[in-house]
Amino acid sequence: MLQGRRILLIISGGIAAYKSLELIRRLRDQGAAVRCVMTEAARQFITPLSVASLSEDKVYGDLWSLTDESEMGHIRLSREADLLVVAPATADLIARMAAGIANDLAATTLLASDKPVLIAPAMNAMMWAHPATQANLATLASRGIGRIGPAAGDLACGEIGFGRMSEPAEIVAEIARFLAKDQRLSGRRALVTSGPTREPIDPVRYISNHSSGKQGHAIAAALAALGAETVLISGPTSEPTPVGVKLIAVETAAEMLMASEGVLPVDVAVMAAAVSDWRIASASTQKLKKNGKGPPNLRLVENPDILASIAARGNDRPVLVIGFAAETETRAATIGRRWSLALPRRPRTSSPMPAPSASARAVIGSLRTTCRPAPAPSAGSATRCIW
């Protein structure tokens, strides 16, 4: 599955470092070459000897080693890899990555890397939930750094909660998905919208819907796995950002439209977000209070139609626009959403749409041969339905 692929595994100093030994073994079993960098703290948890034995390669760790720098060097470490995987990724290394700090070999290699990066965080639940860690993770997600896990459960520190590193088998599966040989969308740009929007009523209340974001996120993951440079614009969800996808987090429909227009031009746009049709005409800046005169009169106004706006663009209209609609009257109601493929059509503006470029035609070609519009895909089957 990973024959000939080269993984640079960066092991930082968390209690889950022991799992990285199994990760190395599983990656090697799949045919990958694994080269390892260990932080100083990682060496407190597992020995470089074990790591070297399992990876059958030298283990790197000293930024100042004359031998290592002349033999390999922090720049070559990443240049000679297909993918950088940080497992476990400590709160500390995540913070250094987010801040662009390069004070050891692991952080310097990550900063100097031109390769995709995948992190598997592992830490105490309070460290995970800390606003500093969450802000750092959001920064990394916005830069396209992929994340696997963490899972919830018993933690090594004796507490229970989020922070367990994903199991090595799951990490290998995610790496394999990411490095899948089918890169037919390489060189293409894709935009995917996902999740609900939130339209404020006042500073503490909003109108929203039940969208989980599962479908949009799965589609973004599929596009990225096929090599497309993928931007995911999502309303609030608890779905992790898929590997290799750049996330732009938004709340309202207006923000989603502005962000979507901001990433154009793209070759393909998949609008899977559940955008609120209406918003409050003028949201209150203060919390609305009961005043004994009955409920407030909330006037709704229509939100912009993001799908229609993107489909009606002129020169920078994506050559392929796919839209989703939630249904309650039809059979799709049992699942909730259906999708339709809108192959290039004339925009609603008077200006004629330019003929699709050769590269855009290639995207359509590859999608046409693989797209099987299904009557009602479930969130989990999004990948299969579309690709």
Ligand X SMILES: Cc1cc2nc3c(=O)[nH]c(=O)nc-3n(C[C@H](O)[C@H](O)[C@H](O)COP(=O)(O)O)c2cc1C
Provide the binding-site residues for ligand X, judged by CB under 6 A: 12-16, 39, 41-42, 90-93, 122-123, 127
**Ranges of H-type helices in the chain:** 17-29, 42-45, 48-55, 66-71, 73-79, 91-99, 105-111, 125-129, 131-142, 168-178, 214-225, 253-263, 306-311, 358-370, 382-386
Which of 311, 140, 155 is CA-nearest to residue 240?
140
Closer to ligand X at the Cβ: 17 or 33? Answer: 17
Q: Are strands 160-164 and 151-154 parallel, antiparallel or unpaired?
A: antiparallel
**190, amino acid identity:** A
Closest CB 201 distance from ligand X, rounded Å: 39
Closest CB 132 distance from ligand X, rounded Å: 12
Closer to ligand X at the Cβ: 127 or 259? Answer: 127
Choose the catalytic residue: 36, 157, 371, 385.
157
Residue with tokens 């396209």: 144
Closest CB 133 distance from ligand X, rounded Å: 9
Closer to ligand X at the Cβ: 43 or 58? Answer: 43
Closest CB 246 distance from ligand X, rounded Å: 24
Residue 157 a catalytic site member? yes
Closest CB 40 distance from ligand X, rounded Å: 6
Closer to ligand X at the Cβ: 94 or 306? Answer: 94
**Which residues does 76 contact at the CB level (< 8 Å), separation at least 6?**
none
Strand partners, 337: 326
Count CA atoms within 13 Å of residue 317 on its CB side.
27
| Alpha carbon of residue 208 to chain centroid | 22
Closer to ligand X at the Cβ: 108 or 234? Answer: 108
Annotated active-site positions, please?
157
